[in-house]
Structure 1
Amino acid sequence: MSTEQQATDWNAWSREAVEAMVAGNARWQSEFGLQGSPKYHWDLESATLTFEGTLGQVLATVCLVGTTSASEGSFVWSWANEAIPRQHGAALEVVHDFGRENQLALLTTPRIQGGRPEATECLCIAGRLQRAVGTFIDQQGDVTLYFTLLHLRMAPAQGEWLH
């Protein structure tokens, strides 16, 4: 273990990741007119999230970091979940590699006992390592999905030509 690794306060590093994602979320919601509760639709196959905002439709490229199940009381990383399209796990390799290099079990253990607090920490760490714009969380029945937003853009207006 290097001196740099020994000197890293991983709790503080993780808190900084959460703070950065909170600030990032406020920024993209304001910039794209998505405050409040805009309508949205995500598609795991295309790794996209579409919002209906006050300024128009906003398209996001996303990575599903993982899911929690209230009934199971655990968070499962997408790279460990065969039901999740493979591109999401591939987008998380930087997180998995970082966890292995720094011996951080939180980032290398496929299923983590806990719920939203543990999942949110994993989400924000993934966002920091992926240099994500922000995060998005959605609940579907018993399952909560945790996304990083890798890129955001306004959709072309209806009838607008693309050059």
Structure 2
Amino acid sequence: MSDAHEATDWAAWSREAVETMVARNAEWPRQFGLQGDPAYRWDLERALLVFEGPLHEVVATVCLVGTTSEREGSFVWSWANEAIPPVHGQALEVVHEFGRDHHLALLTTPRIQGGRPEATECLCIAGRLQRAVGTFIDQQGDVALYFTILHLQVAVDEDMALN
């Protein structure tokens, strides 16, 4: 039984989160036949990301954790961005609550100064707390979108489904 007063080394905990997501990100593309650089499309309203593999499409349920802007030099959590559909903020509540419970400003501050390194740390922490399958980052001009992948499945072709 651990001592309730024992201090957690949050830097080590965060590094473990990053290591875990790096390992998972090596596994899920291999598991679903998505090695290389498959085409993809995402739908923020439905919280979906679809990869076009060589043999089939793979549908991912995702959470947009946040975005960075190179121009602004900051990371903004999705729960703090009114332009992001609320479903993503709801999926991040476990992260926000964890930050509040442990007094971790990184997880409770709406806009964090920095760029990709800070955003990647936030993404991996979110992935750890959400028990994500992995993560995905998409660059759209000045803005990068940071997704956790919560679930993956091979798409079923409606025309080929057995009745």
Report the TM range for the smaller structure's normalisation: over 0.9
* Of 97-106 and 2-11, the range deviating more from structure 2: 2-11
Alpha carbons 1:137, 1:146 under 8 Å: kept: yes
C-alpha distance in 1, partners of 2:81/2:64? 11
Change (3 A) 1:6 1:108: farther
Partner in structure 2 of residue 147 of structure 1:
147
| Structure 1 residue ranges without an equivalent (≥5) | none
Q: Percent same amino acid among aligned pairs? A: 75
* Of 114-123 and 151-160, the range deviating more from structure 2: 151-160
**In the alignment, does 2:73 pair up with 1:73?**
yes
CA deviation string 1:66-87 (max 9, x = no partner): 0000000000000000000000
* Of 3-12 and 119-128, the range deviating more from structure 2: 3-12
- Alpha-carbon distance, 1:6 to partner: 4.2
C-alpha distance in 2, partners of 1:100/1:3? 20
Runs of 4+ in 1 over 6 A off after TM superposition: none
Change (3 A) 1:162 1:43: farther
How high is the TM-score relative to the length of structure 1? 0.95
Equivalenced residue count is: 162
**In the alignment, does 2:129 pair up with 1:116?**
no
- Alpha-carbon distance, 1:36 to partner: 1.1
C-alpha distance in 1, partners of 2:60/2:154? 9
- Alpha-carbon distance, 1:35 to partner: 1.1
Change (3 A) 1:33 1:72: same
**In the alignment, does 2:71 pair up with 1:37?**
no
- Alpha-carbon distance, 1:54 to partner: 2.3
The equivalences for 1:1-163 within 5 A come to 3-4=3-4, 6-157=6-157, 159-161=159-161
Code of the aligned partner of 1:42: W
Change (3 A) 1:94 1:5: farther
Change (3 A) 1:9 1:79: same
How high is the TM-score relative to the length of structure 2? 0.95
Superposed CA RMSD: 1.5
Alpha carbons 1:61, 1:150 under 8 Å: kept: yes
| Structure 2 residue ranges without an equivalent (≥5) | none
* Of 100-109 and 49-58, the range deviating more from structure 2: 49-58
Code of the aligned partner of 2:120: T
C-alpha distance in 2, partners of 1:115/1:139? 12
